[in-house]
Structure formats: structure tokens, C-alpha cells
Structure 1
Amino acid sequence: MCNDYRLMIELASVIEQFEHRKIKIRFPEGRPNIEAREDIKITDAAPIVRGVEGERGAGELVQRRWSWPSPTKKPVYNFRSEGREFTSNRCLIVADGFYEFTTPADPKKKRKDKWLFRKTGEPVFAIAGIWRETEDVGEAFTMLTMEPGPDIAPYHDRQIVVLDRGDWVNWLDPSVSAADLIKPLPPGALTVEQVG
């Protein structure tokens, strides 16, 4: 599953993308200093957008830790979406690419093959996530997963939930059914290239 993603665009461009979707971004903790990052890994702090209770079309951009500790202290960085509605604490995880890793075809190669997935024709996209308060690490988020769509299936048997742009505002509204929003993108919606 996805344990590495990236965000290479500047904050102003992220805000602009949300404004195009009619989502007004607020900064309850001040405007964060977001640097371009090729690799955002489990336990790193990264930007998310949370809904504002009672205000459809408003979001709070904050930086939080990716993953919270499970009861066994292993990081919960991916979370199955099947059969769940997520009626609170939804968030959008801002990214411009994510990685999947496969066993190399060459048995002499020690490292796995690394594949970068991006949303075709879009500079930034949103991954469906949830966040929670924890005793150990404070507030943290995780990415939701589902069965793979046609672009991911050749590389992995699961995938993170990449939301259609038109569903960003709906994901931030917990009264909208999660089941209506969690669905595979059409073929060709994601581009893939081998990197590293």
C-alpha cells in the first residue's frame, strides 16, 4: 500500500486549486511553511485540509503527522474504506503524486521498482483521509484504501482513494455518503512512470 507520496508545488498553487473547487481555505494555526517534498513518508508531518463544522465549502489547512500508532504501536498509515461511512473527521490529503513499489523483474536487483502515479492533467489532487486525536502523537491522519482501479491494478492489489476534483467539497461534508464518493477513477485518469 501507499507508504510514500509527494507534494512538489507551492502553497499558493495549492490554495488556488481549492479556490477553483469553491473551497475557501483558512489557516487556524497560521500559514504553514510548506516546502516541495519528493518523498513524504510515514510519521512525517504533511498538509491536510479538514472541513469546518457547519460550513460547507470551507476548509482548514493544517500540518499533521501521517499515521497514528495502533494498539501494537505499528503505524496506521492506510485504512480500509469498505463498509464504513466516516461521519466525522474527514480530511483531504494534498498531493501531486504517490508511489507504489513492485518486485523487480531482474532477480539480481536488490531494490524494488518504484512507480510514480500522478493525476492526468491536474497539478494537484486530493486523497481521501481521516484524522484523529491520539494520546501518543496528538492529531494524525491516515489514507483510505479500496480495491484497485484500472490504472493501479497492474501494480498493486489495493489502492489509496484518489478523489475526483468535483468530490472534494463533498468529502469535507460528513453528511454526504462516503460510499457515493469512494470509487475508482476511470482508465487513464492516472499516469504512471518508473522512477528512482
Structure 2
Amino acid sequence: MNTRYTISTGSVAKAARRLLLEQPDMHENRHHAPMRAGPVVRAQGEKPAEIEMMRWGITLRWLPRPLITARAETITEKPSCRGTFESSRCLVIAESFYEWHAGERGDEVTEYRLPYDEPMVFAGIWARLPQGKGGSTEGYAVLTTRANEMVRQGQERMPVILRPADWHRWLAPTSNPKELGYLLQPWTGTLTAHRTRLGRTLEEEAWHPREGGMV
């Protein structure tokens, strides 16, 4: 998966209704990039779940760049991810995700969506890390898996997309991490794909999709 996806207030509103949660104040973000705040759902301890705006990217001292994505196949093996997977899982709300291609006239993207404008919810992890002067920062990363047959035509990886029936199971602090592995598979449902050239705004953004950390 390359580091770019889209967010819409409509998708967040639909996910919020299904989860019986309040929708946060936010703006549409057609080209959500790393280090920007995006809507995630998390449940901390005995507190009820809520949708929060959190930075996309977990800053770790031993990594040269923020952790943007994490491989689902090795999530329980990497020290940087194992603890967060066991205790700090979250739902990342999106509308679609992009994969990039080198076109003859410049970069092109293929946008993947669910049918009927359904919200696309990724499996995610989050972390709170201490900062100087007693402060802390929070960030999230998206879990990825091998691409399914459709996405594999352009990329080897894709985000882990969770079905609505599994949202609460992934989110619940009481879920046994060892029993969640079956959720971390390529998407087997329907996806729609639309290929287009990048707009000027996206091309000029500071973060290129090939930047950003992955473990």
C-alpha cells in the first residue's frame, strides 16, 4: 500500500451511525497524507469507544521516519508493533485508498472503493509516546496485507479492510490478539477501481507516497 487514502464526512458519518458514536468535527480530505490528523475509533480501558482525530504516523526513536504502515504478517514479531497490536488497536475510517502508477504523462492513480459508497474501515494500531518536558504525542498506523487479485495488478500490498461485523471484535480491548489473525487477510469482497491522473494539489504536496516508514 502506498501512503495515501481519502476521507469524507459522509463515510465518517455512516461509520459513526453503525458504531453508535458521535461524529467529530472535521473537513473532507480527498488526499489524506501522513502526519495529518485523520478519524480513528479507539476504546481505552473501560472508557467507551469514540471517534477521534489523530495523527497518521507513529514516531519511534529507532526508526528514521514515522511508522505509517505495518505488515499484518509480522505484527506479532516486531518489537515496535507487538505491544500496540495486543493492547492499542483502532479502526481507521476512510472512503477509498489510492495506488500509484508511472503513467506516460506523469503519475497516475487507481482509486479503490467499496460499492454503494460504503465506508472503508482499515485495521490500525495506535501509540502514545512520551516527548520532552513531560509531554506526549499520539499517532496511528495502518495494517497492510498482501494485495488481492484486483489490487495486485498495480501493487503488492493493500490495507487490511475490516467488515462491519468485525469492527467491534477488532476494537474491543477484551479480544484475544491470538484469535484476531483471521481478520488480517486480503479483501475478498467487491471493490470498484477508477484510474485517473493526479491533480495539481496532490502532485505538489510535500509527502510523496513512496516516503514513510513501514515494518
TM over 0.5: yes
Aligned to 2:55: 65
Q: CA deviation at 1:67?
A: 0.5
Distance 1:122 1:69 in 2: 32
Q: CA deviation at 1:186?
A: 1.7
Question: Counterparts of 1:94-105 in structure 2 under 5 Å?
Answer: 94-104=93-103
Aligned to 1:19: 17
Aligned to 2:125: 130
Q: Larger % of strand: which?
A: 1
After superposition, what is the alpha-carbon deviation per residue over 1:116-175, rounded to whole angstroms, capped at 9, x for unaligned? 111123431211000001235700000001111122111101111111121111110241
Aligned to 1:8: 8
Aligned to 1:152: 151
Aligned to 2:81: none
Q: Runs of 5+ in structure 2 lacking a partner?
A: 77-84, 199-215
Cα RMSD over matched residues?
A: 2.2
| Identity, % of aligned positions | 25
Distance 2:151 2:57 in 1: 22
State whether residues 145 and 161 of structure 1, in contact with CA within 8 Å, keep that contact through their aligned partners in structure 2: yes
Aligned partner letter, 2:21: I
Q: Runs of 5+ in structure 1 lacking a partner?
A: none
Q: CA deviation at 1:15?
A: 4.2
Question: Counterparts of 1:66-105 in structure 2 under 5 Å?
Answer: 66-70=56-60, 71-84=62-75, 86-104=85-103
Q: CA deviation at 1:52?
A: 4.2
Secondary structure of 2:27 counterpart: coil
Secondary structure of 1:25 counterpart: coil
State whether residues 2 and 160 of structure 1, in contact with CA within 8 Å, keep that contact through their aligned partners in structure 2: no
State whether residues 5 and 95 of structure 1, in contact with CA within 8 Å, keep that contact through their aligned partners in structure 2: yes
Aligned partner letter, 1:79: A
Secondary structure of 1:3 counterpart: coil
Distance 2:181 2:32 in 1: 28
Q: Larger % of helix: which?
A: 2
Following superposition, which runs of at least 4 residues in structure 1 exceed 6 angstroms of deviation? none
Aligned to 1:179: 181
After superposition, what is the alpha-carbon deviation per residue over 1:69-124, rounded to whole angstroms, capped at 9, x for unaligned? 242431211111114352211000000111110222x2xx3x32111111123431
